[in-house]
């Protein structure tokens, strides 16, 4: 299965421009909740949405990227950000408990590691119902690997041969500190006899061979672990940069600093320069207009 290049690019820009609207508008106090942004994760959220059609996803408090990549529609996202009764949760979910079942996003939660066991239950249900092609995708930060539920879920999934993908989003940080929870995945793979795929440079999507390797990895039966490393572009919670706090620095490498911006020329080659620019402007405009139109639904 080849990567649908246009769809992949569209998903990336829905995440980027949706989050940029949140950043721009947050100061106006119509978004009345803490936000954990997915800026920096666009490529991998789009990859998961493209490579796992029909999967059921479970996420964390930082799941804007999954929501926007799966939906390719800013409207339900902004309805949640504005707590509108017309949102998927009827205005109750906020930023950290997003869901969109019709697009495969079953649940997200603010409690670290709490959706891991839910995803395992979903995978177990697939197995019990004979749905051998059904894939459950559990998306969590590297800090959740320190929780008991991760190890118990991994062990149970292996024991029951469940078709589940554990996705570790590793930004190398523990809020305002450097993270030291990065487990040796080679040892993990050996201990549980698991297939592992790691990506920090985009090899899973940037070439036909790389994407083929990734989809072959996904097609293996039983549980598997995918870890991607990315740079969190904003503060842990909020919409501003925080390099001035001194606990981290802006990466010098362009891909690490802003991975989506750095691959713009690759997208030019894929889609053609003119079509790529038109697509960017179209999605940016759609995000801006969607938010502006929904402001009219706020109570006076």
User: Using 50, 70 and 90 to split pLDDT, how confident is the model at 181?
Assistant: low
CA 35 – CA 239 distance, rounded (Å): 8
Structure tokens at 61: 């408090």
Specify whether the CB–CB gap between 64 and 38 falls below 8 A. yes
Residue 184 lies in a domain: yes
User: Using 50, 70 and 90 to split pLDDT, how confident is the model at 182?
Assistant: low
User: Using 50, 70 and 90 to split pLDDT, how confident is the model at 190?
Assistant: confident
| CATH value at residue 145 | 3.40.50.970
What per-residue confidence (pLDDT) applies to 1?
75
Average pLDDT, the chain: 95
Residue 14 lies in a domain: yes
Specify whether the CB–CB gap between 45 and 38 falls below 8 A. yes
CA 49 – CA 46 distance, rounded (Å): 5
In 111-148, which positions are buried (b, 16+ CB within 10 angstroms) versus exposed (e)?
A: ebbbbbbbbbebbbebbeeeeeebbbbbbbbbbbbebe
Structure confidence by residue, pLDDT tens digits, 209-261: 999 999 999 999 999 999 999 999 999 999 999 999 999 999 999 999 999 99
- How far the first Cα of the chain sits from its last, in Å, is 50
- Vertex 155, ends 67 and 214: CA angle to 5°? 50
What is the extent of the structural domain holding 225? 5-295
What per-residue confidence (pLDDT) applies to 188?
86
Residue 300 lies in a domain: no
Concatenating the DSSP letter of every residue in 42-106 gives HHHHHHHHHHSTT-EEEE-S--HHHHHHHH--HHHHHHHHTT-TTSTTSS--TTTS--BGGGTEE
Concatenating the DSSP letter of every residue in 156-189 gives HHHHHT--EEEEEEE-SBSSSSB------HHHHH
User: In 3-state terms, what secondary structure has residue 201?
Assistant: coil
What per-residue confidence (pLDDT) applies to 253?
94
Average confidence (pLDDT) over 100-107: 97
**The total number of structural domains that make up the chain:** 1
Q: Is the pLDDT at 126 greater than 90, yes or no?
A: yes
pTM: 0.97
What per-residue confidence (pLDDT) applies to 300?
75
Residue 252 lies in a domain: yes
């Amino acid at each position: 299965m080849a990567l649908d290049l246009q769809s992949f690019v569209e998903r990336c820009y829905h995440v980027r421009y949706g989050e940029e609207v949140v950043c721009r508008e947050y100061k106006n106090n119509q978004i009345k909740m803490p936000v954990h942004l997915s800026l920096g994760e666009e490529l991998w959220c789009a990859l998961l949405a493209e490579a796992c059609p029909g999967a059921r996803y479970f996420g964390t408090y930082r799941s804007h990227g999954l929501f926007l990549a799966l939906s390719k529609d800013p409207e339900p996202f902004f309805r949640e950000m504005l707590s509108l009764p017309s949102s998927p949760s009827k205005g109750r979910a906020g930023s950290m408990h997003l869901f969109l079942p019709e697009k495969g996003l079953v649940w997200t939660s603010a409690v670290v590691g709490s959706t891991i066991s839910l995803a395992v239950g979903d995978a177990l249900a697939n197995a019990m119902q004979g749905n051998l092609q059904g894939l459950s995708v559990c998306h969590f930060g590297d800090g959740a690997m320190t929780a008991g539920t991760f190890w118990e879920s991994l062990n149970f999934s292996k024991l029951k041969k469940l078709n589940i993908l554990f996705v570790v989003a590793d930004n190398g940080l523990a809020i305002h500190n450097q993270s030291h929870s990065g487990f040796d995945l080679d040892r993990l793979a050996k201990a549980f006899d698991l297939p592992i795929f790691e990506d920090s440079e985009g090899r899973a999507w940037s070439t036909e061979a790389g994407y083929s390797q990734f989809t072959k990895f996904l097609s293996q039966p039983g549980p598997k672990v995918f870890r991607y490393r990315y740079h969190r572009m904003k503060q842990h919670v909020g919409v501003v940069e925080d390099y001035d706090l001194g606990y981290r620095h802006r990466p010098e490498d362009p891909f690490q600093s802003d991975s989506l911006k750095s691959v713009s020329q690759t997208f030019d080659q894929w889609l053609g320069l003119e079509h790529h620019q038109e697509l960017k402007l179209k999605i940016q405009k759609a995000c801006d207009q969607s938010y502006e139109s929904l402001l009219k639904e706020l109570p006076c």
